[in-house]
Structure 1
Amino acid sequence: MDMMKMTDRTYYAPKGGLPPQTDLITDRAVFTEAYAVIPRREFSDIVASFLPFWDKTRLWVIARPLSGFAETFSQYIMEVQPGGGSDKPEPDTGAEGVLFVVEGEITVRLDGKSHVMKPGGYAFLPPAAKWSLRNESSGTARFHWVRKAYEFVDGIEAPTPIFTNENDIAPIAMPDTEGKWATTRFVDPTDLRHDMHVTIVTIGPGGVIPFPETHVMEHGLYVLEGKAVYRLNQDWVEVQAGDYMWLRAFCPQACYAGGPGNFRYLLYKDVNRHMKLGTPFTRG
């Protein structure tokens, strides 16, 4: 499949700054009861955040748990300057994490081993993992950090760490799509130790998701490359590299890839666990 060539893979990373005073205010940003779209122009200096115990680092929070909306995860775009990083990056011992590098180079230390991660690099960090992260290069590093409270299950062990790069993983084409729609999977979907997946979806020029997916999994979609027209609930929304979509469970979703190159996005979803039930009714 030509669209999956290793050399075709690129990653959009925000740089911050502010739009000029001559720009129009109107934009594609939208927040609804079913979905949100954060266009890449919104990743400006004034919405950047900072974290305890992180040096020479800022971030953009692009997803966080909200009552009645996406409730299972948070997602950051981290920007670490040379020499920056953290020796205490994750304060929650019950949180698992995924890192995905879109620019520059980071070094993650875990269990006495150092892992140098470059663009396309993926890491899964299990709950209670004692890891640290530093930018030991001479350039700025930017990466996604997805965090989730791990759902333990009696009789099933927590997952072990994973370090890999998408360039070392062959995308798997979806059935009956003539290779126009494929997924790069970093975790075996049948491995029930994992309660979330972070994958990369690639749709070739003119390819489509040909039906409105409607399902229980919450989604975060960061567009790495290309452009598309996305169907979200009842609306058609144009998106491009650097945009982020946040989809509530059961929000209908489909798309047309706009070309001229591939449309690719980093996708979060929660998987492999029973649905939490509410407080049972009591009888008087």
Structure 2
Amino acid sequence: MDILTFRKIKQGTYECELNLNALYKDETELEKFNKKWIAFLNSDHWNKKVFKRDGNTIKYSHKSWVPEKNDNRIPILIVAGNPAPQSTSEDVYYAFETNGSEHRFWKILRKLGFIDLPFDLKLMKSTFFDLDYVSPFRIGIDVTFTFPSSASAQSWSGVQGLQKLFGVKALEKIFLSEKVRIQKLVTGFFKDNIVTIIAVQKDAYNMFAKNTYSLNKAVIGKLSSIYDLEGRDFRIYGVPPTRWMYTTKMQSALLQIKKDILNKKTGKNKLSK
């Protein structure tokens, strides 16, 4: 019995099903989860739009912004921690800030020349998947954990919120299912032998890297690792989480990574182990 399954609905959209009976073999642990579930569900009004629970099965959708379309640009996969429920509901990564304004993620990536998408929720997804944007890169976006959690309710936010909800051991089991999903995604998205991932969260970085995530190195653009997957080398860069996007350090780190990727593509700074 699988703990977590993924069913593709259409390009970029999956139905996820979490089996709590498979996750918690001990009824006491399941009872602990159930006591926390109500508080988690009520922590953000978007949660009730995203999650559907039937007994010990929880269903929710996942947006995998990994285009099937290809072109000659350098492919980059950006991997975050987990989505916010409003982004899942709107089917757009980093849909907007709490006050409804454009999210810092897209504003800063536009400023730094990574990607220029319109701030229009109806156009963003189609523009992204059609590769109809200005960028030296063909970009994909996904997450380490597909299970959403509030970005504004501090006690339940991010991956730490998932750890609080599920418990450390249960989240590690979920992580194993997610890792298989990400590995399949990586091999499908990248057509050439050199693969580049930018991890904007420590679990995303540690999923693949040979070294351990270090915020001190990430803020100066010096955190990276090379990993071998099915005989292909890929480099993973670690950067601070998205709440750092407005900081000079975060922007400098991203610019350094951008320069590094472009240099590797032109052969000025080849991959080395």
* TM-score (ref. length: structure 1): 0.29
Would you tell me which structure has more strand in proportion to its own residues? 1
> Under a length normalisation based on structure 2, what TM-score does the superposition of the two structures give?
0.30
Higher helix share: 2
